[in-house]
Structure 1
Amino acid sequence: MAGVKSLSPYQPGKPAEELQRELGLDRISKLASNENPLGASPLVQERLQASIPDITRYPDGNGFKLKAALSAHHNIEPACITLGNGSNDVLDMVARAYLGPGREAVMSQYAFAVYLIASQTVGATGVTVPAFGPDHDMPFGHDLVAMAAAITPETRVVFIANPNNPTGTWLEADALQAFLDVVPEDVVVVLDEAYLEYGDPSEVVDGTRWLSRYNNLVITRTFSKIYGLAGLRVGYALSHPDIADMLNRVRHPFNVNLLGMVAAEAAIAD
């Protein structure tokens, strides 16, 4: 109980409607949560309308159709895919599967707050490594050399965001691969790529290229940003099948809702 009370709850951006009530405003352009202002694709909206009669049934607990679509999209086996209620859910699965009292998770300063919350929730210690200073070529970015040095025998997970929110920084491919080369094989490296599609492909590397090389690598993605499905909460992880098996052991039943899976499958196709 004491450990839970020491946690700082995640504070999401306020809904526009709440700000309208508080401030007496008629029009608000909400930027706090990085939501897609263009909305979901026409095919997504069409498929959602067609699926309304099906909401009386539980969704496919294994997400067969969505996994098949992701498998084709990433050219990866379905056994390497773990579906989540947003990528936040997958990050929480990693913490529950690999962390606990006496274990450590390494992360950068100014990274996604959920990394620390998920780690502390299961009783693990979050080790926050200072980010680069304001005068660095990548101000407030991840210092991978310092993060590698922070790994101890108790470390079980390293969280990395590329690109990183809220700093807008990214990691060069050579530096990231050099980091992966020195991380012990029993340490899971989570590469959070929620904002990958917003980066220049010539600068921001797609981490899936390394999945066949590093069995301890987990790539997390979301449909909340570029696909405009934040309200439906769909994310996923790509990893070695052994890691996917561990994540699925702690995954809650029916964790992705029916309409979310329909929309995500349509978003990939459109």
Structure 2
Amino acid sequence: MPDTAAPVLLNTALGHVAAIPPYPPGRPIAAVAREFGLDPANIIKLASNENPMGCSPKAMEAIRASATETHYYPDFDCFELRHALAEENGVSFAEVLPGAGSSDLILQVARGWLDKGRHAIVPQYSFAAYESCAKAQGSSTVTVPAKGWDYDLDALVSAVTDETGALFIATPNNPIGNVVAPDALEAFLKAVPEHVLVVLDEAYREFLPVEQRPDLKRLMATRQNLLVMRTFSKIHGLAGLRVGYGIANPSIITTLKTLQMPFSVSAVGQAAALASINDPAFTQAYHDLNASERQRICAAFEDKGFDYVPSQANFILFHVGDGPATAQALMKRGVITRPVANYGLKTWLRVSIGLPEQNDVFLKHLFDLLPQGSRAA
């Protein structure tokens, strides 16, 4: 009889790498359509904090124009984009480094600052990539419990030891939406010992009111060992092109660029990002739409008896009792939200803020499933 046993697949990866859990992304529309037999045109994706308006018309025009030269390698120095970012942020060319999204920079930080002898510090309820990138280097993370839904900044400082290589903090923070006030952030940076690289993730910065945005120059003057990360994936609507950037003193930028894979930022991505910088009216329109729709959804949650966490980003964390089951039920109805059980939040869901008509559909299906709302214990 033929041997029908499944072949044994050998995984010879390093043990600490093989043990890293895969990142759980938001479900793609096509995958949900296949699984539930739905029409993709009728599915609403509110899972990955994407821009429901798409990208700037100027960026789309640049994408079309640059697509005619895809047979050439991109400019590894990202010369034009770096100059534009430096000018926009009031820093020098040498203090800016574009990357393939913020995730590219997180990985380079892990490669350059972490190993078996140096660990990272992360707040509870932080972006999962911080920990997975640290583990990929054989490093470990120290997770500092939150104070309610906010960071415990004093505890983060107290957790630093001589073996701490990097400390990650985000404002606004994903997946919670909490914000560190600018004056509290500046005091915190002053308190962190100078041997630690502080990575400030500002992926959702542009959703804040202007007066709540940290002053980049003040922060960089406060401490030299600071890396500020930003992205074009959120308010700029270029998530599919993978463009982000870091701002830091030139010595840190040089180290990060040395570790970066050649040509990591595509030519199309560079062109689109440059065009989007030059269309502030588009990003302002999305900022305003997001703010008004966020307020409307929160009001609906309050009216129906749902607990939620106040957010300053383009998403809201809200209580449903059974996160995975509710997400599955919503998907069957064509609405994709984000379970956050991997963050220890099994009874909560995160929903991205969409266009008004998309939010109407989401709220209708949610209230049909949970007409009595859901309160946290």
TM-score where L is the length of structure 2? 0.69
User: In the aligned structure 2, how far is the partner of 1:79 from the partner of 1:207?
Assistant: 15
Among candidates 17, 20, 36, match of residue 30 of structure 2: 17
Match of 2:203 in 1: 194
- Determine if the alignment matches structure 1 residue 205 to structure 2 residue 214: yes
SS at the partner of 1:211? helix
* Runs of 5+ consecutive residues of structure 2 not aligned to the other structure: 1-13, 280-377
Match of 2:183 in 1: 174
**CA drift at 1:201:** 2.6
Match of 1:108 in 2: 123
Q: 1:103 to 1:151 in 2, by over 3 A?
A: same
User: In the aligned structure 2, how far is the partner of 1:161 from the partner of 1:207?
Assistant: 14
- Determine if the alignment matches structure 1 residue 222 to structure 2 residue 231: yes
Q: Which letter maps to 1:153? A: D
**CA drift at 1:24:** 1.9
Q: Which letter maps to 1:63? A: C
User: In the aligned structure 2, how far is the partner of 1:153 from the partner of 1:120?
Assistant: 19
Q: Which letter maps to 2:238? A: L
**CA drift at 1:119:** 0.7
User: In the aligned structure 2, how far is the partner of 1:207 from the partner of 1:107?
Assistant: 21
- Asked whether the 8 Å contact 1:96–1:250 carries over to 2, the reply is yes
Q: Which letter maps to 2:37? A: G
**CA drift at 1:73:** 0.7
User: In the aligned structure 2, how far is the partner of 1:200 from the partner of 1:72?
Assistant: 21
After TM superposition, the structure 1 = structure 2 runs for residues 35-50 of structure 1, keeping only pairs within 5 Å, are 35-50=50-65
- Asked whether the 8 Å contact 2:172–2:179 carries over to 1, the reply is yes
Deviations 1:128-167 (A, max 9, x none): 111122xxxxxx2211111111111100100001000110
- Asked whether the 8 Å contact 1:171–1:204 carries over to 2, the reply is no
**CA drift at 1:208:** 4.7
**CA drift at 1:206:** 4.2
After TM superposition, the structure 1 = structure 2 runs for residues 77-116 of structure 1, keeping only pairs within 5 Å, are 77-116=92-131
SS at the partner of 1:72? helix
- Asked whether the 8 Å contact 1:188–1:217 carries over to 2, the reply is yes
User: In the aligned structure 2, how far is the partner of 1:34 from the partner of 1:209?
Assistant: 29
Deviations 1:10-44 (A, max 9, x none): 11101111111111222111111000000111111
SS at the partner of 1:7? coil
User: In the aligned structure 2, how far is the partner of 1:173 from the partner of 1:213?
Assistant: 12
Match of 1:137 in 2: none
- Asked whether the 8 Å contact 2:186–2:222 carries over to 1, the reply is no
- Determine if the alignment matches structure 1 residue 155 to structure 2 residue 160: no
User: In the aligned structure 1, how far is the partner of 2:213 from the partner of 2:152?
Assistant: 16
Q: Which letter maps to 1:149? A: S
SS at the partner of 2:131? helix
Match of 1:241 in 2: 250
Q: Which letter maps to 1:3? A: H
Q: Which letter maps to 1:13? A: G
**CA drift at 1:177:** 1.3
Structure of higher RCO (CA pairs closer than 8 Å, 6+ residues apart):
1
- Asked whether the 8 Å contact 1:106–1:147 carries over to 2, the reply is yes
- Asked whether the 8 Å contact 1:223–1:229 carries over to 2, the reply is yes
Paired-residue identity, %: 46
User: In the aligned structure 2, how far is the partner of 1:147 from the partner of 1:212?
Assistant: 21
User: In the aligned structure 2, how far is the partner of 1:77 from the partner of 1:4?
Assistant: 37
**CA drift at 1:204:** 4.0
User: In the aligned structure 1, how far is the partner of 2:217 from the partner of 2:38?
Assistant: 44
- Asked whether the 8 Å contact 2:167–2:197 carries over to 1, the reply is yes
SS at the partner of 2:209? coil
Match of 1:136 in 2: none
After TM superposition, the structure 1 = structure 2 runs for residues 117-128 of structure 1, keeping only pairs within 5 Å, are 117-128=132-143
User: In the aligned structure 2, how far is the partner of 1:130 from the partner of 1:260?
Assistant: 37
Deviations 1:99-134 (A, max 9, x none): 11111100111110000001111011111111122x
Aligned-residue CA RMSD in angstroms? 1.1
Match of 1:74 in 2: 89
User: In the aligned structure 1, how far is the partner of 2:96 from the partner of 2:192?
Assistant: 23
SS at the partner of 1:159? strand
Q: Which letter maps to 2:190? A: D
**Runs of 4 or more above 3 Å deviation:** 206-209
* Runs of 5+ consecutive residues of structure 1 not aligned to the other structure: 134-139
Match of 2:304 in 1: none
Among candidates 74, 78, 94, match of residue 63 of structure 1: 78
- Asked whether the 8 Å contact 1:91–1:118 carries over to 2, the reply is yes
- Asked whether the 8 Å contact 1:208–1:219 carries over to 2, the reply is no
